[in-house]
């Protein structure tokens, strides 16, 4: 060990080193020098433009006035209480999960600080700010509780299982709370809340559909393989927006009348289409994972006596899914952004709410402000998903081949 | 099954029991390539059979038919009184009674060493967790690496991985162990540690069918050699017979190449 460290000098943080690095990487040759100077100038210009817009010339009133519209659309104010228990639970789950499986590093605290300052200056105000602060408090207590729990406590595996159960139950309980006892019709959902619901339902239904279709397509039985293949190829052959239109006007009316699918409202139709569409892509990603696994794995599982169901669920699928996490999360990020396509169905999602906001007489000419804000919202969640994927990969990477 | 009188069973150091594997006219096709062209043999309890032959001779295919990783296309295979066919109930019974060790180890990389061993006893034999873990630890002691229980397979050397694979197979308390070139993927310095475990296993009275090129090991532990070429058993007999007095030209040629 000592010899190893001795042969490796610490990275020299000197001016001379920086100059050598810059010379080798940025200014090695006329072409690269021109490129470096050009790109840097462009970057500086763009960042300056954006910052001067955001900090000086932008009129952020349009966002502050239309907070409600952007957040939940036409969701009735009297029913807003239905949203808070899910948000508190989400806060608790995030805090507990972070504390249990990870820890917040310095960068994490910095990001958290930015998010909190932004949330309580721009996003929330008055009563909502208090209710949101409660969610943050719950999350923070959960995190602290997990951090002070002694390492290697016998509670740890139980906590992990309870957290996974909590995450799985969050969506169904949220939907239940929204709809139960004269709840809010889905057609009144809107804003970023609508995007979140469409995406989570799309993922929650699309993922199992995709896994089943992948298994179907790799089955040796033609009665299973052929329908699965047809489904995947048919769905992938059409653009999502076309499927959404079809679902609005045609598709479900073809279904057997006893299922009463033609009675479904437009949001539920959109959810089914997003789930089915995502399922077809997930199926191909998972199939890649299944086929990338060495045949010896299932042979070894069979050789110790596991039946084919156990072989699939205990040996093959866990490894196949772990190996395709990046592609799966890519598909989910894509779905998250594709939820805006429901504007074609007359629904008012975050982007639609933004359009409505800058169409108001008071806010003529505020497209830039609104679109920057909407982009920031989409980006934050997509980025969070991508970070989560990276974390999952490292965490499950133990025992990597 | 009891008419073993006309089968050549060589004199051996330890007493052999009743026949436990019975193959008659076993054939196997891969598309239009015939890998096995009618294999007939009988293997008795506590017997150690080493299968030799050039690559592509069908020796691996043969031992893979014994636990039906390769279903045979013609002939009969009876293992421990159960005929191998499409009956899934039979298949699961056979597979939990026949352990197999692969050339590429095939440990489950997403499970710890301990979990690799306890999985099948828990899921197939419905053994309680604690009991299966005690069993796993005693098997890890037996193969000499109890300290590796909580590691993951990729953190182990090839020789250690293969020893875990042997422990995993033994955890089902099999009556027969199949070894498909267990040392061929190992670095030379790790071959001995695996062969030592196999030798100990053979001495403990396990019925073993071993495909290997390790002639020193084969000579020491085998009761009988089967020499395969082009999908047929060309010659069989005791190690002594093979080392001193092989009859077939193809056997002589093969032995001259590997010795």
> CATH number, domain at A207?
1.10.3720.10
Mean pLDDT computed over every residue of chain B: 87
In terms of domains, do A163 and A201 share one? no
Which of A164, A183, A202 lies at the terminal end of a domain, its last residue? A183
Let me know if residue A228 belongs to a domain. yes
Rounded to the nearest 5°, which phi and psi values hold at B22?
-130, 120
Cross-chain residue pair A297–B100, CB shorter than 8 Å: no
User: How many CB atoms are located within 10 Å of the residue A127 CB?
Assistant: 9
A-chain CB neighbours of B80 within 8 Å are: none
Interatomic CA distance for residues A74 and A349, integer angstroms: 10
Q: How confident is the model at residue A8 (pLDDT cuts 50, 70, 90)?
A: low
Predicted confidence at residue A299, as pLDDT, reads: 92
A96 is in which domain, residue-wise?
Answer: 76-183
Predicted confidence at residue A17, as pLDDT, reads: 82
Q: How confident is the model at residue B139 (pLDDT cuts 50, 70, 90)?
A: very high
Q: How confident is the model at residue A252 (pLDDT cuts 50, 70, 90)?
A: low
Predicted confidence at residue B1, as pLDDT, reads: 40
Which of A165, A183, A201 lies at the terminal end of a domain, its last residue? A183
Let me know if residue A24 belongs to a domain. no
Let me know if residue A31 belongs to a domain. no
Let me know if residue A130 belongs to a domain. yes
In terms of domains, do A179 and A204 share one? no
Section A79-96 average pLDDT: 82
Which of A183, A198, A220 lies at the terminal end of a domain, its last residue? A183
Let me know if residue A8 belongs to a domain. no
Predicted confidence at residue B11, as pLDDT, reads: 42
Q: Which residue has the tokens 């090991």?
A: B217
In terms of domains, do A214 and A360 share one? yes
- Positive or negative torsion for Cα B90, B91, B92, B96: positive
Mean pLDDT computed over every residue of chain A: 82
Q: Does A302 touch chain B (CB under 8 A)?
A: yes
In terms of domains, do A278 and A368 share one? yes
Section A67-90 average pLDDT: 81
Q: Could you tell me if A149 and A156 are in contact, meaning their C-beta atoms sit under 8 angstroms apart?
A: yes
**Judged by CB atoms within 8 Å, which residues 308-337 of A form the interface with B?**
310, 314-315, 318-319, 322
In terms of domains, do A158 and A249 share one? no
Q: How confident is the model at residue A127 (pLDDT cuts 50, 70, 90)?
A: confident
User: How many CB atoms are located within 10 Å of the residue A203 CB?
Assistant: 22
In terms of domains, do A230 and A205 share one? yes
Q: How confident is the model at residue A397 (pLDDT cuts 50, 70, 90)?
A: low
Interface test with A, best of B108, B111, B124, B154 (most A CBs within 10 A): B108
Interatomic CA distance for residues B15 and A120, integer angstroms: 84
In terms of domains, do A176 and A211 share one? no
Q: Which residue has the higher pLDDT, B147 or A154?
A: B147
Section A288-300 average pLDDT: 91
Total of domains in chain A? 2
Q: How confident is the model at residue B134 (pLDDT cuts 50, 70, 90)?
A: very high
Q: Could you tell me if B116 and B107 are in contact, meaning their C-beta atoms sit under 8 angstroms apart?
A: yes
Interatomic CA distance for residues A318 and A293, integer angstroms: 11
Let me know if residue A28 belongs to a domain. no
Q: Does A29 touch chain B (CB under 8 A)?
A: no
Cross-chain residue pair B69–A299, CB shorter than 8 Å: yes
In terms of domains, do A65 and A124 share one? no
Query: From the list A302, A307, A315, which residue is nearest B108 (CB)?
Result: A315
Interatomic CA distance for residues A93 and A138, integer angstroms: 9
Predicted confidence at residue B6, as pLDDT, reads: 43
Predicted confidence at residue A391, as pLDDT, reads: 82
β-bridge pairing B48-52 and B207-211: parallel
For A335-362, how does the pLDDT look when each residue is reduced to its tens digit (9 = 90+)?
999 999 988 888 888 888 888 888 878 8
Q: What SS3 class is residue A111? A: helix
Query: From the list A299, A315, A399, which residue is nearest B154 (CB)?
Result: A399
Percent of chain A residues topping a pLDDT of 90 = 16
* pLDDT surpassing 90 at residue A164: no
DSSP-assigned letter for residue A312: I
Interatomic CA distance for residues B102 and B104, integer angstroms: 5
In terms of domains, do A338 and A271 share one? yes
Predicted confidence at residue A259, as pLDDT, reads: 63
Q: Could you tell me if B178 and B99 are in contact, meaning their C-beta atoms sit under 8 angstroms apart?
A: yes
In terms of domains, do A59 and A85 share one? no
In terms of domains, do A51 and A89 share one? no
Query: Which of A26-35, A94-103, A125-134, A222-231 has maximum average pLDDT?
Result: A222-231
Q: Does A6 touch chain B (CB under 8 A)?
A: no
* pLDDT surpassing 80 at residue B121: yes
Section A87-104 average pLDDT: 81
Q: Could you tell me if A158 and A166 are in contact, meaning their C-beta atoms sit under 8 angstroms apart?
A: no
Q: Does A295 touch chain B (CB under 8 A)?
A: no
Q: Could you tell me if A241 and A344 are in contact, meaning their C-beta atoms sit under 8 angstroms apart?
A: yes
Q: Which residue has the higher pLDDT, B91 or A207?
A: A207
Predicted confidence at residue B2, as pLDDT, reads: 42
DSSP line for A244-255? HHHHHHTGGGGS
Q: Kindly state the greatest CA–CA separation across chain A.
A: 78
Let me know if residue A18 belongs to a domain. no
For B182-213, how does the pLDDT look when each residue is reduced to its tens digit (9 = 90+)?
998 888 888 988 999 899 999 898 999 999 98
Let me know if residue A127 belongs to a domain. yes
- Give Cα separations from A283 to A218, A276, B173 (angstroms): 10, 10, 39
Q: Does B172 touch chain A (CB under 8 A)?
A: yes
In terms of domains, do A59 and A198 share one? yes
Q: Could you tell me if B226 and B254 are in contact, meaning their C-beta atoms sit under 8 angstroms apart?
A: no
Predicted confidence at residue B8, as pLDDT, reads: 46
* pLDDT surpassing 60 at residue A322: yes
Lookup: tokens for B8: 């050549």
Section B111-134 average pLDDT: 92
């Amino acid at each position: 060990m000592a010899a190893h460290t001795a042969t490796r000098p610490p990275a020299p943080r000197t001016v001379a080193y920086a100059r050598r690095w810059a010379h080798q990487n940025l200014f090695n040759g006329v072409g690269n020098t021109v490129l470096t100077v050009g790109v840097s100038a462009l970057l500086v210009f763009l960042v300056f433009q954006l910052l001067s817009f955001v900090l000086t010339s932008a009129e952020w009133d349009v966002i502050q006035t239309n907070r409600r519209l952007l957040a939940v659309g036409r969701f009735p104010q009297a029913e807003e209480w239905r949203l808070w228990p899910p948000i508190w639970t989400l806060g608790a789950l995030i805090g507990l999960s972070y504390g249990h499986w990870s820890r917040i590093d310095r960068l994490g605290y910095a990001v958290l600080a930015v998010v909190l300052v932004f949330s309580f200056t721009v996003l929330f105000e008055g009563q909502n700010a208090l209710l949101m602060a409660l969610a943050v408090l719950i999350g923070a207590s959960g995190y602290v509780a997990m951090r002070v729990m002694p390492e290697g406590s016998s509670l740890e595996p139980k906590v992990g299982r309870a957290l996974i159960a909590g995450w799985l139950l969050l969506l169904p309980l949220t939907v239940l709370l929204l709809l139960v006892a004269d709840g809010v019709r889905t057609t009144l959902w809107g804003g970023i809340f609508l995007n979140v619901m469409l995406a989570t339902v799309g993922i929650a239904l699309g993922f199992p559909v995709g896994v089943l279709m992948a298994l179907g397509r790799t089955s040796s039985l033609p009665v299973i393989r052929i329908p699965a293949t047809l489904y995947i190829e048919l769905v992938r052959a059409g653009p999502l927006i076309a499927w959404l239109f079809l679902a609005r006007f045609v598709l479900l009316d073809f279904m057997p009348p006893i299922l009463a699918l033609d009675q479904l409202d437009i949001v539920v139709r959109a959810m089914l289409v997003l789930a089915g569409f995502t399922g077809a892509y997930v199926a191909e990603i998972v199939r890649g994972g299944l086929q990338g696994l060495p045949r010896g794995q299932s042979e070894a599982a069979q050789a110790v006596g596991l039946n084919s169901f156990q072989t699939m669920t205990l040996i093959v699928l866990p490894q196949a899914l772990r190996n395709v996490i990046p592609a799966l999360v890519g598909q989910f990020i894509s779905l998250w952004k594709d939820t805006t396509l429901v504007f074609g169905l007359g629904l008012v999602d975050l982007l639609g709410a933004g359009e409505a906001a800058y169409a108001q007489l008071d806010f003529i000419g505020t497209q830039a402000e609104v679109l920057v804000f909407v982009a920031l919202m989409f980006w934050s969640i997509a980025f969070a998903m991508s970070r989560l994927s990276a974390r999952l990969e490292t965490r499950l990477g133990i025992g990597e081949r | 099954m009891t008419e073993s009188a006309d089968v050549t069973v060589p004199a051996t150091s330890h007493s052999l029991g009743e026949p436990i594997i019975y193959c008659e006219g076993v054939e196997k096709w891969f598309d239009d390539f015939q890998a096995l062209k009618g294999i007939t043999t009988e293997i008795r309890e506590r017997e150690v059979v080493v299968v030799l032959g050039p690559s592509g001779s069908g020796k691996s295919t043969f031992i893979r038919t014994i636990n039906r990783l390769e279903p045979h296309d013609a002939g009969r295979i009876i293992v421990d009184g159960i005929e191998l066919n499409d009956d899934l109930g039979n298949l699961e019974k056979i597979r939990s009674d026949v352990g197999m060790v692969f050339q590429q180890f095939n440990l489950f990389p997403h499970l710890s060493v301990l979990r690799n061993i306890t999985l099948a006893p828990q899921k197939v034999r419905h053994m309680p967790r604690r009991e299966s873990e005690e069993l796993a630890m005693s098997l890890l002691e037996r193969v000499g690496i109890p300290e590796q229980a909580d590691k993951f397979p990729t953190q182990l050397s090839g020789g250690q991985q293969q020893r875990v694979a042997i422990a995993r197979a033994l955890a089902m308390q099999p009556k027969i162990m199949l070894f498909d070139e267990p040392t061929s993927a190992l670095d030379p310095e790790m071959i001995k540690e695996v062969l030592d475990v196999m030798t100990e296993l053979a001495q403990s009275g396990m019925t073993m069918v071993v495909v290997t090129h390790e002639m020193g090991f084969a000579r020491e532990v085998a009761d009988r050699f089967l020499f395969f070429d082009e999908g047929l058993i060309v010659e069989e007999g005791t190690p002594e017979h093979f080392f001193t007095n092989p009859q077939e030209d193809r056997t002589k040629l093969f032995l001259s190449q590997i010795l």
